[in-house]
Structure 1
Amino acid sequence: MYNFNNLYEPTSVEEALRMKKEHPQALLLAGGSDILIKIREGKLAGCDLINIYCLEELRGICLEDDGSILIRPLTSFTDVSMHPVIRKYVPVLGEAVDQIGGPQVRNIGTIGGNICNGVTSADSATTLKAYDATLEITSLDGIRLLPYAEFNLGPGKVDLREGEMLTGIRIAKQSYENTYGQYIKYAMRKAMDIATLGCSVNVRLSNDKKHIDRLRIAFGVAAPTPLRSTTAEANAQGHGLNEQLLEAVAQGALADVKPRTSWRASKEFRLQLVKEMARRATKTAVEKAGGTING
């Protein structure tokens, strides 16, 4: 049994926002793959819920006129990974969400819920940060656009203010055009486990395929929130495709991350994972882009 008080079921985003304003302590229920577990465990017992799962206007993916990719927050992980726009332009995002839970979780869980939970292990978070995603956040007063890089305020805390809800995730054309990415997840089990560490890299090569034109790299479970490694990115800028590039990216990543020891892994082990995964993900992304890492 699930111990909650009231369940509100809006039929539109506007109605959901009105309900949220009238009941500011109520929680938004999307797929429920996280929140219902917390209710059952007693962590959120007695809460009020606003069920937005049936709001079709918050579901789907499209390519907009300016070339940006718009992902609505109620899009399931399965639909993200299967959608032709994602497969064509940012397949690494589909590859990342394909590693979340099992098929049942991926069918019901939503990409919006994944990032709004604010957990550092969210598999979609690292790739969205590495692609400079922008969030569309809506209230009854209008829409504000927020870089996803600024969304995470701390463990489990995100920049959703009273009366607001996430209504869109955008990846600009200049962020994904001519880029190739790789996501690596290390977990205690090979499937149906949260990440001990996650790493997402995407690269754009020079026209002659011999240098890095742009590299983006982000980590999960390497700090209290998912984070970009700007030092690693700066180290890679204009670098030739060689072993020194991989070492520069790895050392730059180590300079930015702040892992801690938990029952899943020690700080020292996570630092080793950061270094190795940065190297491997960068190498694979370069190869996908048509480059070759020389000795």
Structure 2
Amino acid sequence: MYDIKALYEATSVDDACRLLKEHPGSQVIAGGSDVLVQIREGKRAGKELVSIYMLDELRGICLDAEDNIRIGSLTSFSHITKNPIIQKYINVLGEAVDQIGGPQIRNIGTIGGNTCNGVTSADSASTLFAWDAQVEIAGEGYRRVVPINEFYIKAGTVALEEGEIQTAIIIPKKAYEGYKGHYIKYAMREAMDIATTGCSVNVKLSADKKTFEDVRIAYGVAGPIPMRVPTAENFIRGKEVNDENMEAFAEKVLEDINPRDSWRASKAFRCHIGVVMAKRACEKAVKQAGGDVDDRTEL
């Protein structure tokens, strides 16, 4: 059923990087919820696999010395949702990954696997873009960090060189402190379905809750890779918190997003729901931030 040439079990991060270099073309496997399905379908037949599943150093969530949130790449979706650090500071990420697949997938699937796939529909991706996340990458004997928007290169391709693995997702303190967010996934089914479009909005309000100090909005399936929407962000920053400005903010997303036609939905439909989702997610985020808003926008 599974056409695998060889499976190597890494004993450390450096060992995993060494194995990947010794076996060019080999693929990392962690939870296996995507890789094993692809192999069974014949898409990766005859592959050599390097398993990092036993590397507990890549699991868990903590605050580092500078209060940045560090999420190990092998942390499962279920553990992200239930983690007290996530719930306290960036609960929207837990809500986003809680919409991935079913309970079995969320128990075995990892944040690293979800992002390393490089697909625009990954539920974690747009939320991480909205949090200005950074990606920690390891090679044999070194570590480097890249902004998540530079980690995604094109559909299905991320910035991992030969012999490198992703080790962590980092949310800087300045990116989450004072912000509240909301994520909306629109799919053909209510559960266990790939996003037709996903939208994540973070807001930071003034002390009196009357002004948008900052807004970050990101989409999945609005382009070949997850994307931020700078035109809308720049428009609303510094403006009064009211329905008129949020309506205009939502319309501004059309200047940046460029979804495609597919069997799941037409480009026109994705653009339409993209506008509705932007306003609704902004309303929900404002309400969580303590602002006064009548959040009745419906999809």
TM-score (norm 1): 0.98
1:253 match:
253
Deviation at 1:203, TM superposition (A): 0.4
**4+ residue runs of structure 1 moved beyond 6 angstroms?**
none
Residue 2 (structure 2) pairs with residue 2 (structure 1): yes
Give ranges in structure 2 of 5+ residues lacking alignment.
Answer: none
1:274 match:
274
2:20 match:
20
Deviation at 1:172, TM superposition (A): 0.6
Distance in 2 (CA, whole Å) between partners of 1:49 and 1:253 is 41
1:74 match:
74
1:88 match:
88
Deviation at 1:13, TM superposition (A): 1.0
Going from structure 1 to structure 2, the CA distance change for 1:281 and 1:294 (only over 3 Å counts) comes to closer
Letter in 2 for 1:266: S
Letter in 2 for 1:200: S
1:176 match:
176
What does 1:55-66 correspond to in 2, within 5 Å?
A: 55-66=55-66
Question: CA deviation digits over 1:247-268, x for unaligned, max 9?
Answer: 2221221111010100000000
Distance in 2 (CA, whole Å) between partners of 1:89 and 1:244 is 29
Deviation at 1:294, TM superposition (A): 7.0
The residue matched to 1:169 in structure 2 has which SS? strand
Distance in 1 (CA, whole Å) between partners of 2:199 and 2:242 is 20
Distance in 2 (CA, whole Å) between partners of 1:249 and 1:126 is 18
- Could you tell me whether the CA contact under 8 Å between 1:70 and 1:170 is conserved in 2? yes
Letter in 1 for 2:275: K
Letter in 1 for 2:103: P
Distance in 2 (CA, whole Å) between partners of 1:24 and 1:288 is 48
% identical equivalent positions: 56
Distance in 2 (CA, whole Å) between partners of 1:75 and 1:222 is 27
1:125 match:
125
- Could you tell me whether the CA contact under 8 Å between 1:242 and 1:294 is conserved in 2? no
The residue matched to 2:223 in structure 1 has which SS? coil
2:138 match:
138
Distance in 2 (CA, whole Å) between partners of 1:186 and 1:268 is 15
Residue 86 (structure 2) pairs with residue 102 (structure 1): no
Distance in 2 (CA, whole Å) between partners of 1:294 and 1:60 is 38
CA RMSD after TM alignment: 1.1
How many residue pairs match? The answer is: 295
Distance in 1 (CA, whole Å) between partners of 2:275 and 2:33 is 32
Give ranges in structure 1 of 5+ residues lacking alignment.
Answer: none
Letter in 2 for 1:127: T
